[in-house]
Each structure stands twice: as structure tokens, then as C-alpha cells.
């Protein structure tokens, strides 16, 4: 039995959400269940999961989401961020943004853009300085503190990253995203038990809905050899993300391979290929699916 181990980084945005934590993939187009109209090139979150940017006309079509009430958060450069609550049966929404002259908010927007575009440590340090300027103008700015913590974690400045998370909780104690990032910081620093506590706290704070924490918890459990529990956490994240992050299917499939469950691995890998036929892992997965399908059918594999 072979195991496919592929490097993958955690949402996960998603927040600058879970999306920014995964390799970019090209998902297959599906019939949109929700169309958002707002400013061009605006970032859109649904239930704090980043779902993409609007096009030049200010529209974004979002694939099927769970049938319940949702919150839509929209941010565009130069405008005040807006959050709208949608009832379960609403399929279109227009979000009108107003311009802002708030220097702290403008600096925060610049910092977020710089973080996403950062390609090296120098870029990340520059983005971190923008976050710090925003926080200096508005000391109680939890979103900026969390953004700064993400960057400091990537720079391996773990103590400073924890300090930023602690500062975010001063003004927002029940902050699921902050706890998810705290878990990632602990995991990066190899404090597995502390990471598990933080991820589980994040899930509680999100009332069970926190895909970035579910993925983070799954990865720690996988590293600890608790493969069945890891698979269950990946499944929860997939259900919450509505197939917006195909790479989680790759992670799930790799876990099922380790569990020696080829049928489940095949299903996960085929779902990845359905959603991201040109994705980062597509070629590698296609190359092993034939053998995995033989294993799933119970055929004996001769080395």
C-alpha cells in the first residue's frame, strides 16, 4: 500500500480566510446559488469564509451554500467595510459601500493587500509595519491584530504572534478566528497539545462552524497518528466550505490512504479532480488513481 504525501499549507482566510492558506486551484464552474453585487474588486466573505473577489462589474457568483441565514461581509479599497444578513431564501444581494476617510481602516486595507501579495520576508515585514501603523491609530483593532499575527507566524516570530492574538482578545474575547490562528501558531512551534486546545476553543467560539480550525485540528491529529479522528475533522471542514477549497479533498484522500481505505481515498481524490481538474495536485492524483481503484476493488497489487 502506498501513501501519497503532498505538502499542503493551512484556511484557511477563509477572515483573510481559509482560502489564503491553501494552494490555488481552478474549480469547475457550478450554477451559482448567490449573486453579490457591490464595488469592483471587492473581497467577499460568507459566514466569515472568504469566497472570492467581485469582477470588474462588481459581481461575484458564489456556488451553492447551506440553506440557512448567512452573513455577507464585503471589503473594498477606500470604502468602509460592510456586513449584511441574508435570509435563507435570498439568492441575490446588492451591497452598497460608502467611502471612508478613516486612516486606520485605510492602513488596514493596505496591510491586508500587502500580506496577500507578499513573496518574501521583506515583503511580509513591510506588511506587518502597515498593520502596526493601523493599530497605533486604533489600539482596539482585533482584525488588524489577527492579520499581524498571521504574518508574524509566517515569519516564525511566534512570541510576537501570540502577543498580537492576546491583544485581539482584549477587545473581542470570543473570537473564533483568533483562536484558530493561535492553534496554527502552536502547531508551527510544535506544541501539539496546546494547538489542539486552541483549535477546539475556536470551534466552540464559532458554535461549531470554523473550517480553518477543523482543518488545523485534523492536521495535528494526523501528525499524532489519530487518523480516523483527523479524517472526521477534514469531513467537517469540507461540509462547511461548500466545496470552495478542493485541496481539503486531497488532504482527506491522503489520510484515507494512510488508514488503508482505498475506496474512500478514491472518492476524495476524484472529488478534488472534479472541482479542480487543473489544480496543483491533479497530475499526481491521476497518476495513482488507477492503482488505488484496483486496491479498492480488492485486486492484489504485485510490486
For 171-188, what is each residue's pLDDT tens digit? Answer: 899 999 999 999 999 999
Taking CA atoms, 264 is separated from 101, 151, 260, 261, 298, in Å, by 52, 36, 9, 6, 13
For 73-99, what is each residue's pLDDT tens digit? Answer: 999 999 999 999 988 778 889 999 999
Instruction: Tell me how far apart the alpha carbons of residues 193 and 125 are, in angstroms, rounded to a whole number.
Output: 29
Instruction: Tell me how far apart the alpha carbons of residues 94 and 57 are, in angstroms, rounded to a whole number.
Output: 12
Confidence of residue 120 (pLDDT cuts 50, 70, 90): very high
For 1-58, what is each residue's pLDDT tens digit? Answer: 444 434 343 344 444 444 444 444 444 444 447 899 999 999 999 888 888 899 999 9
Contact 289, 299 (CB under 8 A): no
Contact 13, 212 (CB under 8 A): yes
User: Which residue in the block uniquely carries the three cell numbers 488532504?
Assistant: 251
Contact 240, 17 (CB under 8 A): no
Sign for the CA dihedral angle at 174, 23, 82, 139 comes to positive
Mean pLDDT of the chain: 87
For 184-235, what is each residue's pLDDT tens digit? Answer: 999 999 999 999 999 999 999 999 999 999 999 999 999 999 999 999 999 9
Task: Tally the C-alpha atoms within 13 A of residue 24's C-alpha that lie toward its C-beta.
Answer: 2
Which residues make Cβ contacts (< 8 Å) with residue 109, sequence separation at least 6?
A: 75, 77, 78
Amino acid at each position: 500500500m502506498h501513501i501519497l504525501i503532498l505538502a499542503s499549507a493551512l484556511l484557511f482566510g477563509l477572515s483573510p480566510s481559509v482560502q489564503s492558506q491553501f494552494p490555488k486551484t481552478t474549480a469547475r464552474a457550478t450554477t451559482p446559488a448567490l449573486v453579490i453585487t457591490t464595488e469592483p474588486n471587492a473581497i467577499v466573505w460568507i459566514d466569515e469564509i472568504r469566497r472570492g473577489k467581485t469582477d470588474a462589474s462588481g459581481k461575484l457568483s458564489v456556488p451553492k451554500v447551506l440553506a440557512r441565514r448567512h452573513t455577507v461581509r464585503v471589503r473594498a479599497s477606500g470604502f468602509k467595510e460592510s456586513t449584511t444578513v441574508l435570509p435563507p431564501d435570498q439568492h441575490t444581494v446588492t451591497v452598497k459601500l460608502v467611502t471612508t476617510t478613516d486612516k486606520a481602516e485605510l492602513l488596514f486595507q493596505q496591510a491586508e493587500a500587502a500580506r496577500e501579495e507578499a513573496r518574501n520576508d521583506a515583503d511580509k515585514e513591510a506588511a506587518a509595519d502597515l498593520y502596526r501603523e493601523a493599530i497605533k491609530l486604533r489600539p482596539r483593532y482585533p482584525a488588524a491584530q489577527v492579520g499581524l499575527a498571521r504574518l508574524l507566524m509566517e515569519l516564525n516570530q511566534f512570541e510576537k504572534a501570540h502577543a498580537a492574538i492576546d491583544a485581539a482578545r482584549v477587545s473581542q474575547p470570543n473570537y473564533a478566528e483568533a483562536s484558530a490562528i493561535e492553534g496554527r501558531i502552536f502547531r508551527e512551534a510544535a506544541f501539539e497539545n496546546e494547538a489542539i486546545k486552541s483549535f477546539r476553543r475556536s470551534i466552540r467560539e464559532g458554535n461549531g462552524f470554523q473550517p480553518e480550525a477543523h482543518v488545523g485540528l485534523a492536521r495535528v491529529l494526523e501528525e499524532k497518528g489519530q487518523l480516523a479522528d483527523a479524517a472526521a475533522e477534514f469531513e467537517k471542514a469540507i461540509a462547511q466550505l461548500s466545496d470552495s477549497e478542493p485541496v481539503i479533498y486531497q488532504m482527506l484522500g491522503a489520510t484515507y490512504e494512510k488508514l488503508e481505505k482505498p475506496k474512500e481515498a478514491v472518492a476524495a481524490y476524484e472529488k478534488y479532480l472534479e472541482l479542480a481538474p487543473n489544480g496543483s495536485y491533479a497530475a499526481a492524483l491521476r497518476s495513482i488513481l488507477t492503482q488505488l481503484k484496483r486496491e479498492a476493488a480488492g485486486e492484489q497489487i504485485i510490486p
